[in-house]
Amino acid sequence: MVLLTGVTGFVGKVVLHELLRRHAELGVERVLVIVRADSHALARARFRAKVSQSPCFAAEPQGWEKRIHVLAGDVTQPACGLDGDVLAQVRSDVTHAIHCAASVEFSLPLPSATDINVTGALHALELAKSCAHIASFVGVSTAYVTPHESTQERAPLVAHERLVPLPRDADLLYGAIRAGQMEAKRLLAETGHPNTYTFTKCLAEHLLVRRAGKLPITILRPSIVSASRIFPMPGWIDSPAAFAAFVALIGTGRLRVVAGDPDVRLDIVPCDEVARRAALAAFAPPSPSAPRIVHAVAGLEGASPLRLCREQIVAHFEAQPDDGRPRLTWVGRRGVRFRLEHGLRHEIPLRAAAAWSMLALRSDRARMALRLLERQRAIHREFSYFTHATFDFRSSMPLDPPLEPAPYLKAVCAGVQRHLLRPRSRAARPARGRPSSYTSMEH
């Protein structure tokens, strides 16, 4: 029996799909999924709304949900919020644990990011260790735990499958953060991480390995997770985060300037490839004395040049406009030219639109314009680290067959349009009359 956390998220859904798809091969009789809720009834309702009704499982045979047992819990609580008979059942029946639950918000305050990404991971590990027949534990991290002092170098920055040194002892850092004795800006400057997400994932890796004991453990490090290559269907995606945000904003004309080196290669990995490696790691665990770290990445040869990303996104949405057309005018490194382009294409037009809307007594449109402006700023602020340097993630489990960037980018664009943009556009469109030019602007 497999214990799975984070099933309502993008990666968690596809991991569940992979376990169901290969249940006979892997010997998966049932999957216990922990869903954050105050009661089992609410957990089941949330599972139905977020998971069962997702197109990810549309092709599953009737009755597939009988293999799933939904538990109400919370990974930030000891024993993941389980108690009584439910906890006893987990400890008696679970043989494999896959921990996908996390917050992927880059700018989350340090205490909150630590609570979810570190404490949550440790609670999942301790729960797994308390299971009588546990055979393996897989924790999903990120390939970007390896920091680099500067992303100005044009040569690829190499990252290996090993723990990244921290400037201080991991337990001391963890204790200081929980005691409120660490200031995020200072800490990130000390470790070299670009945000609290990558730092807390790095810290969690150290503590998981240190506390694993005799339990075989694998740390799985995906790069930039995007649309599936094959399963559950080519182009499947339900998360508007990370690379999908660029695709959606550029494709609909809401992002006209991108801060990034056109020659940088983005390591974008299909979600089903991550899920396949999670299942493989769970059912082919390492020895207890040798914790394993695996990069789930496209690799340098399969990475997508930013220049190619621009070409593919613009070409796709020019040919199949949905909620606007691409109006991307400039892609370049941060500097004076970037600030000028951003001001002309984003700041001035949207501030003017907000002011005009307020004069016209349309405060709703003003808010939408300002929300879009903040989204553009956030994209440039949070993703510049990734769009200004090429990362060469060395992997012991390379993609087979290797990823071909151009065809894959086409699949990503089609998937974002089909699964993210069109459903939101239909939901936001007025029942009658012509669609507003501001429809789904914030998306």
Spell out the domain ranges in the chain. Answer: 2-238+266-296
> Would you state the structure tokens that stand for residue 50, as one six-digit string?
């977020």
- The single residue listed with the structure tokens 């190499």 is 158
pLDDT value for 436: 35
CA 268 to chain centre: 11
**Tally of CA atoms within 13 A in the half-sphere of 145 that contains its CB:** 26
Taking the model in full, what pTM does it have?
A: 0.94
pLDDT value for 425: 64
pLDDT value for 152: 63
pLDDT value for 148: 80
Tell me the chain's radius of gyration from C-alpha atoms: 22
d(CA 337, CA 316): 27
Residues 6+ apart with CB under 8 A from 343: none
Q: How far apart are the first and last CA of the chain?
A: 39
d(CA 398, CA 116): 29
d(CA 330, CA 342): 9
| Burial environment of residue 144 by CB neighbours within 10 A (0 to 12, 13 to 18, 19 or more) | buried
pLDDT value for 432: 41
Mean pLDDT by 10 residues, the chain (443 residues): 98 98 97 97 98 97 96 98 97 98 95 98 98 98 88 82 97 98 96 96 98 97 98 97 96 97 97 98 94 98 98 96 90 97 98 97 96 96 93 97 98 97 68 35 27
The total of other beta-carbon atoms located within 10 Å of residue 169's CB is: 11
Per-residue CA distances from 238 to 10, 269, 330, 344, 379 (Å): 6, 15, 28, 32, 19
Interhelix angle 405-416/243-251, rounded to 10 degrees, is: 70
d(CA 375, CA 332): 19
> Would you state the structure tokens that stand for residue 316, as one six-digit string?
């796709």
Per-residue CA distances from 217 to 138, 274, 286 (Å): 6, 16, 7
d(CA 32, CA 36): 13
Q: Give SS3 for 35.
A: strand
Which H or E run includes 266? strand 265-266
Amino acid at 48: R
Interhelix angle 10-21/271-283, rounded to 10 degrees, is: 60
Backbone angles phi, psi at 361, to 5 degrees: 60, 35
CATH superfamily of 2-238+266-296: NAD(P)-binding Rossmann-like Domain (3.40.50.720)
Q: Give SS3 for 217.
A: strand
pLDDT value for 423: 80
Question: Of 271, 216, 208, 214, which is closest to residue 239 (Cα–Cα)?
Answer: 271
d(CA 341, CA 130): 56
Judge contact between 102 and 141, C-beta under 8 A.
Answer: no
Backbone angles phi, psi at 33, to 5 degrees: -115, 130
Which H or E run includes 348? helix 348-359
d(CA 63, CA 80): 28
Question: Of 26, 28, 48, which is closest to residue 37 (Cα–Cα)?
Answer: 48
Q: What angle do CA 415, 305, 245 make, to 5 degrees?
A: 40
375-413 in b/e form (b: 16+ CB < 10 A) is bbeebbebbbbbbbbbbbbebebbbeeebebeebbbbbb
Q: What angle do CA 167, 171, 175 make, to 5 degrees?
A: 105
